[in-house]
Structure 1
Amino acid sequence: MRRLWAALTFYTALPLGRLGRLQFEGIAAWLPAVGLLLGGILTLAALLLQIFPPPVRAALLVALWVLLTGGLHLDGVADTADGLAVNVPKSFADTERPAVNGLSRRLQVMRDSHTGAYGVLALVLVLLLKFAALSSLQVWPLLLLVPAWGRWGQLLAIALYPYLRDQGSARFLKDSTSLPGSLWPGTLLLLAITGGVGWAGLLAWQPLLLWTLGSALGALAVGHWLYRQLGGHTGDTYGATVEWSEAIALLWGSLIGPS
């Protein structure tokens, strides 16, 4: 319970009190559960905001989404985009010095607290995609699942790929996450809740299965693509993985009509 509380304290901006001495090691395993809680809050808000036109409701939901996380992952989107914008002359698969220097320069740019033009563009794009998808979303139970599948993508990135910095604010996440022990609890919980949405008749099984497959593959693809670009992950790319995975899940959801 303390580890779950620690995960909520670390990953959200919810006004939570202290529950004894919090244990932050291994909190990445709770990422899908954190996403389900955030999704539940967003789904309830979406139902309460039905009095507004779809674009207004979408804008309010995006704003609430940012407030719930304190913009933690959006900062990663901007920093990752700025780092990827650095020109690297050689592939990271090579062992030549230009590639090493290029990676070092990218990591240096990502650590810089100033946001560059590419970072701003990435922020605008991801928020615009979320807004557009929410404006078109007709099956609101999916909103319960979107933040969870986005954080499942982050859990995969933490567990599967190397961490690029010797020290960093997210280094402890990698060091305290193991395969397969850290993956299966959250994955089973997420699959169970997703199945519960279908069992309760909130969404027909065929579109739910297709959406789940698309969201899972999207989350996996984002983490893998960032790994291929950088040779590993950092705390910034963990955040970027969440945001882009959520955007992909929402885009898939916008294609589904009410059953």
Structure 2
Amino acid sequence: MPRTAPHQHWNGFLSAIGLLTILPVPASFFTRDYDVKTQSLATLYYPVVGAIIGAILFSVVWLSSDVFPIAVQAALVLFLWSLLTGGLHLDGLADSIDAFSAGHKDKSRILTIFKDPQSGPMAVTGLILVLLIKFTAIQTLLQGKHFVFVIVFIPTLARILASYYMASTAYVRKQGIASGINSEAYKANFLIALSLCFCVWTIHFSFVHALVSAFVLSAVYYAWRQVWLTRIGGYTGDCVGGLIEIIEVITCLALVTVH
């Protein structure tokens, strides 16, 4: 694999920031330095973006701990969590729910639904339930001694799995934000990152809890991947966003059991 210059990694990092968050990236970057190589390298930095999101969320909790009760803090964390991503992943989840429920296994219809900006009742219901679960989980986790760890860990793990998903699955559109990505060469990096997450989880809690949680998360990941492989033969950006939201929710629930 050809060597990658430092400035290309920097461009990949900026690309990940610009694509996954509302944090400011110079507008000129996407017209000057945004190419296929940058798109591919960006996937390496998705987990870093997740850690940055987690660090910002923890900062909000730390600064507001003496000002607001836990319920208000949980609401602030959830609000900022959604705001920092520009609602991108929630939108992906909503589109995925609509495509799954109304697509009827018709690939062209499913892809059309993915591009439809409107959300149906199933999607709205799904989003409400996901946000409700996140809110109650955050409220519970705020009372635990491991909150610093979990609030950074959750968005990071979700984006590692999302990166691995993109590296190991075909993109179905000829045009789109992921159309130029070929990150097959990075699969080993993401597997190493997942192994490190497992080790850190074991250190903070227990091997058994980490193992059971890893099994559940793996089952959810492979089920999600298989659904879209069967229906559209790969993934779209909405599939990635939906996966991130689902992994975050499942991880929240797993960590609540040992808060």
Q: What's the TM-score once normalised by structure 1's chain length?
A: 0.80
**Structure 1 residue aligned with 2:131, among 124, 127, 133?**
127
Q: Which runs of 5+ in 1 are unaligned?
A: 89-98, 199-203
Q: Distance in 1 between matches of 2:204 and 2:123?
A: 37
Q: Which residue of 2 aligns with 1:201?
A: none
**Structure 2 residue aligned with 1:15, among 1, 15, 24?**
24
**Deviation for aligned residue 1:60:** 0.6
**Structure 1 residue aligned with 2:50, among 31, 35, 42?**
35
Query: Number of paired residues?
Result: 235
Q: How does 1:75-114 map to 2 (within 5 A)?
A: 75-86=91-102, 88=104, 102-114=106-118
Post-superposition CA distance 1:201-254 (Å, at most 9, x none): xxx826154555455445443332223223221110100000110111111111
Letter in 2 for 1:7: A
Q: Which residue of 2 aligns with 1:244?
A: 246
Q: SS at 1:25's partner residue?
A: helix
Q: Which residue of 1 aligns with 2:205?
A: 207
Say if 1:39 and 1:73 are closer, same or farther in 2 by CA, change over 3 A.
same
Quote the sequence identity (%).
31
Say if 1:72 and 1:210 are closer, same or farther in 2 by CA, change over 3 A.
farther
Q: Which residue of 2 aligns with 1:67?
A: 83
Q: Which residue of 2 aligns with 1:50?
A: 65
Q: Which runs of 5+ in 2 are unaligned?
A: 1-9
CA contact (8 A) 2:54 2:151 kept: yes
Runs of 4+ in 1 over 6 A off after TM superposition: none
Say if 1:87 and 1:111 are closer, same or farther in 2 by CA, change over 3 A.
closer
**Deviation for aligned residue 1:177:** 1.1
Post-superposition CA distance 1:47-96 (Å, at most 9, x none): 223232222111110001011111111110100000010263xxxxxxxx
Which protein is richer in helix relative to its size? 2
CA contact (8 A) 2:103 2:109 kept: no
Letter in 1 for 2:48: A
Q: Distance in 2 between matches of 1:250 and 1:122?
A: 17
Q: Which residue of 2 aligns with 1:142?
A: 150
Q: SS at 2:159's partner residue?
A: helix
CA contact (8 A) 1:40 1:144 kept: yes
Q: What's the TM-score once normalised by structure 2's chain length?
A: 0.80
**Deviation for aligned residue 1:184:** 3.5
CA contact (8 A) 2:51 2:152 kept: yes
Letter in 2 for 1:2: N
CA contact (8 A) 1:28 1:177 kept: yes
CA contact (8 A) 1:77 1:239 kept: yes
Q: Distance in 1 between matches of 2:87 and 2:64?
A: 22
Q: Distance in 2 between matches of 1:210 and 1:145?
A: 18
Letter in 2 for 1:233: Y
**Deviation for aligned residue 1:191:** 5.4
Q: Which residue of 2 aligns with 1:235?
A: 237
